[in-house]
């Protein structure tokens, strides 16, 4: 059983109210091999919502900041923890999460300047899942699964 980003399963839960549907992931959900979750919705954030990016300070601390300057780190952390709780209950060992997301990105994330520039890094949900032994892939890694 996989945990997958709900937006990849066709759920309109992205910050812009749209989805990032992936046919392979939709099929995994349809046949009962995956459960779709949106950590940001679990955190109580609305859809649509203002876009957010991770800002990393000189000490390596991460903060999730919205484009209008709100610090939403606590909300994103809460959504990540709820996602982990669900994964533990189900016994999830692998997750397929949306690349570049401040929650789900697993290799690259936006750099916090809202300029579209990517940096090496992980979103808060991907990070907490990996710290707890769950292998995290993105929709770009389906050939590795």
Backbone angles phi, psi at 60, to 5 degrees: 90, 5
pLDDT at 144 over 90: no
DSSP string, 81-93: HHHHHHHHHHT--
Contact of 106 with 129, CB cutoff 8 Å: no
**Averaged pLDDT of the chain:** 97
DSSP string, 106-125: SSEEE-SSSSS-EEE---HH
Q: What is the pLDDT of residue 120?
A: 95
Q: What is the pLDDT of residue 139?
A: 97
pLDDT at 98 over 90: yes
Per residue in 18-36, pLDDT (tens digit) is 999 999 999 999 999 999 9
Question: Which range (4-13, 84-93, 136-145) has the least confidence?
Answer: 136-145
Q: What is the pLDDT of residue 57?
A: 87
Q: What is the pLDDT of residue 95?
A: 98
Q: What is the pLDDT of residue 124?
A: 98
Edge-first strand order for the sheet with 94-97 is 34-37, 2-5, 94-97, 135-138
Per residue in 33-42, pLDDT (tens digit) is 999 999 999 9
pLDDT at 15 over 90: yes
pLDDT at 46 over 90: yes
């Amino acid at each position: 059983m996989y945990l997958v980003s709900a937006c990849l399963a066709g759920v309109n839960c992205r910050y812009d109210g749209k989805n990032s549907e992936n046919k392979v992931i939709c099929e995994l959900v349809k046949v009962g091999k995956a459960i779709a979750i949106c950590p940001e919705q679990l955190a109580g954030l609305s859809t649509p919502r203002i876009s957010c990016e991770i800002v990393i300070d000189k000490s390596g601390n991460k903060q999730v900041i919205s484009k209008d300057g709100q610090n939403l780190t606590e909300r994103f952390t809460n959504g990540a923890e709820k996602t982990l709780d669900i994964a533990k209950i189900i016994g999830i060992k692998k997750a397929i999460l949306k690349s570049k997301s401040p929650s789900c990105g697993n290799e690259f994330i936006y750099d916090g300047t809202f300029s579209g520039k990517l940096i090496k890094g992980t979103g808060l949900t991907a990070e907490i899942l990996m710290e707890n032994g769950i292998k995290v892939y993105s929709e770009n890694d389906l050939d590795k699964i």
